[in-house]
């Protein structure tokens, strides 16, 4: 078994992200993937690099749609230099396959799995907030630490998402047996609205119909790995329970858990009680954490739901049950200034990316002067052709809309009903003429009804 952990993407902090966003003020200077590719993939335009790893890059991107629609998202793209290797493509495909099956409020959502110019990519939702790792750093630098209940609430919500991951099934109903293998403060995200999300499934392992899997390569962060994982044994979902227990231990203790070591003897050492570091932790919460980080998987919680219920019971019994808004207030209290800076920088960069008119020509354009063949640049659902293809608008000599905040960018601005007026009139005439037979039948029926009513009236007046 390899003792070195696989290289995982390192995500940019606020300072690095701001430097990326503020480093360029025009579209031409947007960051590239490092090997000369264009600053985007498919319908997504990159506006900043969020992180990079051994196999891929992660970008903040914007996508455009009809009626000036714009949406921020995160695009994870396999690096070109490794896209040709079967192992890298298989690993990336597995992540996309798993992402398509996950759908839970406490898991980052994946919008699309695709391939552009032979390079696979994932498009995911953009979360505005901070990781637990960043929260740890911010709270430890202050004199007043957050209430323990806030950390418990975050971990309980993350456990809800983790249980969904463990229980997810394939389309035929068979369990996938997913093990995250990289549960850590780096991969638990808290938004400014207080939503907790489990992220990054690049290290996930699928046991499929087996109860456990043998891992010959360590993937993840050593300080959060279960003993049976480090020693090369078979692992199941309880390895993720151990990792989540370490996360909660560190949140309550305000410091990292001491590393047990790599040898089997060192890994099997009992972890210290969190109450030995932080005496304010009550015995019930201390026992929950101790059970989660037990070196023997048989003595841990059987699944994430069992541990979550134990934490929920503690919150209820302690009389401190934070709501989602309370978590949002916690993140905002420490990062309000950084949030405003990032939002302003993103807004400036998004406005610098040319957008397109996808729903018709500019108001001053004469659609009768445009040849109908230009509409071939659009798909049936109204999406414009990819940037870089022939610009029919420019060739026709029609001016771009000068007062628009969303300039046209190398795509045909042709209305879907770009038929010449004379042809539209003839079509309307044909439609009208086709209605005459039906109208004649209706008129005849009305006339017969009136005649019958009239005759019936005269018959009533005749003395019989």
* pLDDT tens digits along 132-150: 999 999 998 887 778 999 9
pLDDT above 60: residue 56: yes
Handedness of CA 167, 168, 173, 175 (dihedral sign): negative
> For 101-105, 375-379, 421-425, which range has the lowest pLDDT when averaged over its residues?
375-379
Q: So what CATH class is 128-352?
A: mainly alpha
For residues 387-397, give the mean pLDDT. 36
pLDDT above 50: residue 367: no
194: left (phi over 0), alpha (psi -120 to 50) or beta: left
Per DSSP, what are the bridge partners of residue 72? 62
pLDDT of the residue at 371: 39
Cα–Cα distance, 276 to 433 (Å, whole number)? 90
> For 57-71, 164-178, 211-225, 417-431, which range has the lowest pLDDT when averaged over its residues?
417-431
pLDDT of the residue at 28: 38
The number of beta carbons lying within 10 Å of the beta carbon of residue 181 is 24
pLDDT digits 0-9 by tens, 339-350 = 999 898 888 888
pLDDT above 90: residue 275: yes
Cα–Cα distance, 169 to 176 (Å, whole number)? 5
Instruction: State if pTM tops 0.75.
Output: no
388: left (phi over 0), alpha (psi -120 to 50) or beta: left
Give the CATH architecture of domain 9-126.
Answer: 2-Layer Sandwich (3.30)
**Marked catalytic residue, from 45, 57, 157, 182:** 182
Alpha helices in 23-147 (DSSP H): 80-83, 86-99, 132-140
pLDDT above 60: residue 422: no
pLDDT above 90: residue 369: no
pLDDT above 50: residue 373: no
pLDDT above 90: residue 311: yes
Return the structure tokens found at 322: 């934070």
Cα–Cα distance, 99 to 111 (Å, whole number)? 9
Cα–Cα distance, 150 to 133 (Å, whole number)? 15
Q: Phi and psi at residue 255, in whole multiples of 5°?
A: -160, 165
Return the structure tokens found at 269: 């050492």
Per DSSP, what are the bridge partners of residue 58? 51, 76
pLDDT above 50: residue 370: no
- On whether the CB atoms of residues 62 and 54 are closer than 8 A, the answer is no
Say which residue, 320 or 206, is predicted with more confidence.
320
pLDDT digits 0-9 by tens, 80-118 = 777 778 888 888 888 888 888 899 999 999 999 888 888
Say which residue, 303 or 455, is predicted with more confidence.
303
Cα–Cα distance, 397 to 47 (Å, whole number)? 31
Distances (CA, A) of 452 to 154, 445, 456, 457: 80, 11, 6, 9
pLDDT above 80: residue 252: yes
Tell me the helix, strand and coil percentages in the chain, rounded to 5.
45, 15, 40
> For 118-127, 234-243, 320-329, 345-354, which range has the lowest pLDDT when averaged over its residues?
345-354
Cα–Cα distance, 72 to 85 (Å, whole number)? 30
pLDDT above 70: residue 375: no
Tell me, yes or no, if 182 is annotated catalytic: yes
Share of the chain above pLDDT 90, in %: 37
The number of beta carbons lying within 10 Å of the beta carbon of residue 376 is 11
Which among 73-82, 258-267, 294-303 has the top mean pLDDT?
Answer: 294-303
Say which residue, 349 or 275, is predicted with more confidence.
275
CATH 1.10.510.10 domain span(s) along the chain: 128-352
pLDDT of the residue at 145: 79
Confidence of residue 384 (pLDDT cuts 50, 70, 90): very low
The vertex-258 CA angle with 256 and 263, nearest 5°, equals 140
Confidence of residue 265 (pLDDT cuts 50, 70, 90): confident
Confidence of residue 307 (pLDDT cuts 50, 70, 90): very high
CATH 3.30.200.20 domain span(s) along the chain: 9-126
pLDDT above 50: residue 60: yes
pLDDT above 80: residue 76: yes
Distances (CA, A) of 202 to 53, 100, 239, 247, 343: 11, 13, 16, 19, 28
Say which residue, 353 or 132, is predicted with more confidence.
132
Per DSSP, what are the bridge partners of residue 62? 45, 72
């Amino acid at each position: 078994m390899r003792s070195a952990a696989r290289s995982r993407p390192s995500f940019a902090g606020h300072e690095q992200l701001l430097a990326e966003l503020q480093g360029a003020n025009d579209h031409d200077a947007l960051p590239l993937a490092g090997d000369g590719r264009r600053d985007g993939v498919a319908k997504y335009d990159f506006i900043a690099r969020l992180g990079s790893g051994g196999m891929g890059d992660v970008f903040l991107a914007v996508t455009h749609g009809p009626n000036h629609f714009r949406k921020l998202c995160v695009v994870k793209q396999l690096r070109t230099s490794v896209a040709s290797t079967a192992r890298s493509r298989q690993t990336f495909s597995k992540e996309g396959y798993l992402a398509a099956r996950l759908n839970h409020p406490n898991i980052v959502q994946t919008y699309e799995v695709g391939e552009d110019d032979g390079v696979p990519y994932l498009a995911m939702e953009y979360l505005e907030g901070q990781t637990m790792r960043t929260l740890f750093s911010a709270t430890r630098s202050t004199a007043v630490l957050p209430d323990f209940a806030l950390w418990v609430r975050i971990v309980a919500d993350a456990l809800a998402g983790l249980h969904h991951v463990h229980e997810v099934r394939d389309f035929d109903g068979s369990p996938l047996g997913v093990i995250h293998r990289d549960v850590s403060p780096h991969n638990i995200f808290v938004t400014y609205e207080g939503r907790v999300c489990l992220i990054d499934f690049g290290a996930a392992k699928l046991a499929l119909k087996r109860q456990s899997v043998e891992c010959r390569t360590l993937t993840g962060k050593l300080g959060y790995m279960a003993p049976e994982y480090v020693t090369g044994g078979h692992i199941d979902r309880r390895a993720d329970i151990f990792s989540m227990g370490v996360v909660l231990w560190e949140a309550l203790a305000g410091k990292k858990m001491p590393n047990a070591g790599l040898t089997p003897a060192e890994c099997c050492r009992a972890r210290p009680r969190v109450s030995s570091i932080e005496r304010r932790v009550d015995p019930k919460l201390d026992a929950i954490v101790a059970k989660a980080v037990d070196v023997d998987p048989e003595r841990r919680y059987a699944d994430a739901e069992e541990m979550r219920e134990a934490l929920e019971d503690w919150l209820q019994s302690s009389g401190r049950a934070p709501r989602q808004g309370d978590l949002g207030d916690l993140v905002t209290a420490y990062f309000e200034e950084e949030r405003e800076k990032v939002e302003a920088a993103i807004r400036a960069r998004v406005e610098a990316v040319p957008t397109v008119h996808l729903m018709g020509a500019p108001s001053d354009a004469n659609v009768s002067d445009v040849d109908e063949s230009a509409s071939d640049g659009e798909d049936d659902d109204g999406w414009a052709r990819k940037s870089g293809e022939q610009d029919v608008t420019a060739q026709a000599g029609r001016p771009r809309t000068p007062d628009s905040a969303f300039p046209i960018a190398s795509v045909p601005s042709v209305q879907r009903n770009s038929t010449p007026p004379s042809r539209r009139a003839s079509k309307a005439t044909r439609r009208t003429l086709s209605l005459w037979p039906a109208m004649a039948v209706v008129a005849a029926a009305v006339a017969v009804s009136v005649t019958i009513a009239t005759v019936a009236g005269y018959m009533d007046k005749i003395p019989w």
